[in-house]
Amino acid sequence: MGFSRLRIGRPLKERWEVPPMGSIKANCDAALPQGGATSGLGIMLRNHNGHPIKALSIPHVVASAIQGEALAIRLALKHAHDSGIINLLVVSDNKEIINYIEDPTRIPPLEVAVAIDDIRELSYSFVSISFLFVPRAMNSICY
């Protein structure tokens, strides 16, 4: 049996944090409202002071949450690359997508395979890039 690192009486730290000096943080998210409303992609790029570099929200038809998250991450990488950013920390609240990006031995579902390949290819254009899963509450800067 394992033990927990949680300490009773201490609130969990669940808030957005600035990226390291010299890096840009890209929060990425997809929205799939119910009831036939248009889905969309959102990205927010911020510097080490927490100041916005770029914010973008676009309507986009997606088949699933995982597809939307992959497309949002690809969108963030394209905008970061086009803006000349070289050190990037990419944040998503979809652990499955982060796992597919980081593990090239995992075969992603067909609906996200092309986006995952694009993300991996775009990753080579950065001096440093990291992909991080965060709980939804910590990714709320996007919505």
pLDDT in tens, 70-108: 999 999 999 999 999 999 999 999 999 999 999 999 999
Query: What pTM did the predictor assign?
Result: 0.83
Specify burial of residue 140 (Cβ count, 10 A radius: 0-12, 13-18, 19+).
Answer: middle
The secondary structure of 92-142 as a DSSP string is: ES-HHHHHHHH-TTS---HHHHHHHHHHHHHHTTSSEEEEEE--GGGGGGG
Tell whether the model's pLDDT for residue 67 goes beyond 90: yes
Which domains does the chain show, CATH number per domain? 24-142 (3.30.420.10)
Q: What's the N-to-C CA distance of the chain in angstroms?
A: 39
